[in-house]
């Protein structure tokens, strides 16, 4: 499907290529992230979603091609300038030893500090607001390592929030969370979107993607298979093409959005029949 460029696009990947040790995992990928919308990237394990998110934040510079953020080439921006505009939460962030919640969230203010502008009441307020928005004020002095997986995920979200960037890239922010906690994270992302932030999430739950996304990117083997509004994009054929999945698409009776129901299992022990990593 030919990607149609959204009218107001804040982040663009142009002809992106990525090689790991000489092996190509992404080749000639073009994407457009609409401003102030919630974009979800979907695709099979190993298709290159995390790699794409890292390229979009310059954590992993593309082997070829360029990323453009609000008209500026990302590679030409300084680290702090970039981090003031764009935040990335990776899939498994490394937790520093013995760190407390407030201290970790405060690290989100690093891009705002300069030689002349040290820690200020503005930073203090940003951290307090991030803790409050994620319901962590009462846990500010707790060791992060002592918290549950769901609480720790909220701490990482608070860190990203304290960074106050317009664009948030979140890699599987709901993994390891129970269903209620997953929906809290998704509602939280929706609220950020309603405040005008741009969000790009990697998810594995297609129904959550169909419910929350304004814009979907479907990947397969390092390529974009389709991108656009979920309602217009999703089809049983596309699910077959993207996931080898045989599913029906019905309408959520309450939310009105499309949702999928996989057909009776033909998937047991199917790993060996699927292609390996790209
Ligand atoms: N550091 C690395 N060195 C070498 N190959 C890598 C590295 N990181 C990822 N890859 C390979 O790049 C490909 C894409 O990986 P990536 O993690 O981007 O996929 P993904 O779609 O995010 O997968 P998942 O859904 O399982 O998280 C895979 O084949 C993976 O094995």
pLDDT at 278: 43
CB 228, CB 255: distance < 8 Å: no
Question: Average pLDDT over the chain, rounded to whole?
Answer: 91
Specify the DSSP class assigned to residue 143: B
Q: What is the CA(40)–ligand 1 centre distance, in A?
A: 18
Q: How far apart are CA 168 and CA 179, in angstroms?
A: 22
CB 199, CB 180: distance < 8 Å: no
User: Is residue 56 in contact with ligand 1, taking CB distance under 6 Å?
Assistant: no
CA distances from 203 to 39, 143, 181, 224, 253 (A): 10, 28, 14, 15, 23
β-pairing, 215-220 vs 64-69, is: unpaired
Which residue's CA lies nearest to atom 16 of ligand 1?
48
Which candidate, 168, 214, 146, places its Cα nearest to that of 11? 168
User: Is residue 237 in contact with ligand 1, taking CB distance under 6 Å?
Assistant: no
CA distances from 45 to 150, 256, 275 (A): 23, 29, 11
User: Is residue 44 in contact with ligand 1, taking CB distance under 6 Å?
Assistant: no
Helix and strand tally (H, E) in the chain? 9, 12
DSSP 168-235: EEEESTTTT--HHHHHHHHHHHHHHHHTT-EEEEE-S-HHHHHHH-SEEEEEETTEEEEEE-HHHH--
- In ligand 1, the atom with minimum distance to the C-alpha of 47 is 21
Q: In the structure encoding, which two tokens stand for residue 82, read together? A: 């970039």
Regions of the chain short of the pLDDT cut 70: 1-7, 265-278
pLDDT at 3: 47
Q: In the structure encoding, which two tokens stand for residue 2, read together? A: 């030919």
Report CA 9 to chain centroid distance, whole Å: 16
User: Is residue 36 in contact with ligand 1, taking CB distance under 6 Å?
Assistant: no
Q: Report the half-sphere exposure of 142 (CA within 13 A, side-chain side).
A: 14
Q: In the structure encoding, which two tokens stand for residue 239, read together? A: 């699910």
User: 248: burial class by Cβ within 10 Å (0-12, 13-18, 19+)?
Assistant: exposed
Mutate to test the pocket of ligand 1, among 50, 170, 225 (most ligand atoms within 8 A of CB): 50
pLDDT at 113: 85
User: Is residue 207 in contact with ligand 1, taking CB distance under 6 Å?
Assistant: no
What is the reported pTM? 0.91
User: Is residue 49 in contact with ligand 1, taking CB distance under 6 Å?
Assistant: yes
Q: How far apart are CA 212 and CA 225, in angstroms?
A: 20
Write the pLDDT tens digit of every residue in 143-188. Answer: 999 999 889 999 999 999 999 999 999 999 998 888 988 998 999 9
User: Is residue 222 in contact with ligand 1, taking CB distance under 6 Å?
Assistant: no
Q: What is the CA(278)–ligand 1 centre distance, in A?
A: 8
């Amino acid at each position: 499907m030919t990607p149609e460029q959204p009218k107001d696009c804040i982040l663009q990947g142009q002809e992106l290529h990525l090689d790991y040790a000489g092996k190509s995992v992404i080749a000639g990928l073009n994407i457009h992230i609409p401003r102030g919308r919630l974009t979800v990237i979907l695709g099979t394990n190993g298709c290159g979603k995390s790699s794409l998110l890292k390229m979009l934040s310059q954590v992993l510079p593309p082997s070829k091609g360029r990323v453009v953020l609000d008209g500026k080439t990302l590679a030409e921006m300084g680290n702090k300038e970039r981090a003031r505009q764009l935040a990335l939460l990776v899939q498994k962030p490394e937790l520093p030893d013995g760190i407390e919640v407030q201290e970790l969230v405060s690290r989100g203010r690093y891009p705002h500090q300069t030689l002349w502008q040290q820690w200020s009441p503005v930073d203090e307020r940003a951290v307090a607001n991030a803790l409050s928005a994620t319901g962590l004020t009462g846990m500010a002095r707790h060791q992060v390592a002592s918290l549950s997986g769901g609480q720790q995920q909220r701490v990482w979200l608070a860190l990203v929030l304290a960074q106050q960037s317009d664009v948030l890239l979140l890699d599987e922010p709901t993994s390891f969370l129970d269903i209620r906690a997953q929906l809290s994270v998704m509602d939280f992302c929706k609220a950020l979107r309603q405040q005008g932030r741009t969000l790009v999430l990697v998810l594995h739950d297609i129904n959550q993607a169909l419910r929350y996304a304004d814009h979907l990117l479907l990947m397969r083997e390092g390529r974009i298979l389709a991108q656009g509004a979920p309602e217009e994009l999703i089809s049983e054929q596309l699910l077959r093409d993207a996931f080898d999945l045989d599913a029906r698409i019905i309408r959520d009776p309450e939310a009105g959005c499309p949702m999928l129901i996989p057909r009776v299992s033909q998937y047991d022990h199917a790993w060996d029949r699927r292609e390996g990593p790209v």
